[in-house]
Amino acid sequence: MKKVLVLEDEANIRGFVVINLRRSGYEPIEASTGMEALEKWRVNPDICVALLDVMLPDIDGFEVCRRIRASGSKMGIIMLTAKSQEIDKVTGLMTGADDYVTKPFAIAELTARVDALVRRLGLEDDEKARVEITSGPFVLNTRNRTLEKNGQRLKLTQIEYMLVKLFMENPGKALSREEILAAVWGEDFRGELKTVDVNIRRLRIKIEADPTEPEFLTTVWGYGYKWGF
Ligand code: CA
C-alpha cells in the first residue's frame, strides 16, 4: 500500500482526510506539526505523496517542503493552502511542490489529485528506468543511443554503443568473447573473436581515462571482459 503523509494541525480535517485516503487504498501517516512530519518521513522513507498544510504551530508547510526537496527526495508533494493565500501557491510551487489544493476542499478532489500524482510519478520512474542506465560516472540513454561520462557526451559508433549497453546491462558479470560476439554482432556473424578485442580497445580509448589501465571495462584473462569497478 502506498504511504501518504498527512500533515495538518487541525485534528478534524486530518481525521477526515485520513479516513478517505484509507478508503481509497492508501496508508496514511499522520502528523500535526512540521517537525513531527519530518520525523515520520525519516522513519517512513517510502512515503510516496505528502499533503502539507501551510499554517502550522511550528515550522510551516513550505519549510517542510523545502527540507524534503533539499534531501533530493522526488516524492509527490501537494500543498494545502487557505483560499486567501494566493501568494502561497506561487511560493509553494517555487519550493518544489507538485500541486496545491485550496481549503476548503472537496475530499473527492483531494484524493483525485493524490491518485493523479501517484500515477504521474510511477510512470515517470518506469519510463526513466527503461530509457536510462546509470553506472558510476556513466549514463546510457537507450532512446537517444547516447553515452555520457560525468555529463559529457561521448561519440560512439553503433557497435561501440551496443557493446557498452551490453556491459552496462550486466554490471560485474564476466562476459566471454563468444557471448559478446553473439550479442553484438549476431549469432550468424562469421567473424573472429579478435573483432571483439579490437572494438573493446577502441571503446576503452573513449571511456577510460587511461586505456592501458582500464578502470571500468576490465579484462578477464583467458575469458573475456567485465564491466565493474
Ligand atoms: Ca493549519
Q: Which pLDDT score, from 0 to 100, does residue 192 have?
A: 86
Q: Are residues 159 and 195 in the same domain?
A: yes
Helical H segments across the chain, by residue range: 11-23, 34-43, 61-70, 86-94, 107-131, 158-169, 177-185, 194-207
Ligand 1 center–CA 6 separation, angstroms:
12
Domain limits at 201? 132-227
Q: Are residues 91 and 142 in the same domain?
A: no
Q: Are residues 150 and 113 in the same domain?
A: no
47 assigned to some structural domain: yes
156 assigned to some structural domain: yes
Q: Are residues 165 and 209 in the same domain?
A: yes
The enclosing domain of 192 has a CATH number of 1.10.10.10
Ligand 1 center–CA 20 separation, angstroms:
19
Q: Which pLDDT score, from 0 to 100, does residue 88 have?
A: 62
Q: Are residues 94 and 200 in the same domain?
A: no
Q: Which pLDDT score, from 0 to 100, does residue 85 have?
A: 60
Q: Which pLDDT score, from 0 to 100, does residue 1 have?
A: 84
Q: Which pLDDT score, from 0 to 100, does residue 103 have?
A: 87
User: Residue 134 and residue 117: Cα distance in Å, rounded?
Assistant: 25
Among 86, 120, 154, the domain-final residue is: 120
Ligand 1 center–CA 8 separation, angstroms:
6
Among 120, 146, 161, the domain-final residue is: 120
Q: Which pLDDT score, from 0 to 100, does residue 128 have?
A: 65
Residues lying with their CB under 5 A of ligand 1, a single-atom ion: 9, 53, 55
Q: Are residues 14 and 35 in the same domain?
A: yes
Residue with cell string 537517444: 144
| Contact partners, residue 198, CB within 8 Å, separation at least 6 | none
Ligand 1 center–CA 200 separation, angstroms:
61
Q: Which pLDDT score, from 0 to 100, does residue 212 have?
A: 93
202 assigned to some structural domain: yes
Q: Which pLDDT score, from 0 to 100, does residue 197 have?
A: 95
Q: Which pLDDT score, from 0 to 100, does residue 82 have?
A: 80
Q: Are residues 148 and 108 in the same domain?
A: no
Ligand 1 center–CA 78 separation, angstroms:
14
Q: Are residues 7 and 115 in the same domain?
A: yes
Ligand 1 center–CA 113 separation, angstroms:
20
Return the DSSP state at 59. S
Report pTM.
0.56
Residue with cell string 509553494: 92
Q: Are residues 211 and 154 in the same domain?
A: yes
Count the domains in the chain: 2
219 assigned to some structural domain: yes
Q: Are residues 9 and 110 in the same domain?
A: yes
Q: Which residues of the chain fall below pLDDT 70?
A: 83-94, 123-129, 229
Ligand 1 center–CA 76 separation, angstroms:
20
Q: Are residues 158 and 178 in the same domain?
A: yes
Among 99, 120, 141, the domain-final residue is: 120
Ligand 1 center–CA 168 separation, angstroms:
49
Ligand 1 center–CA 9 separation, angstroms:
5
127 assigned to some structural domain: no
Ligand 1 center–CA 55 separation, angstroms:
4
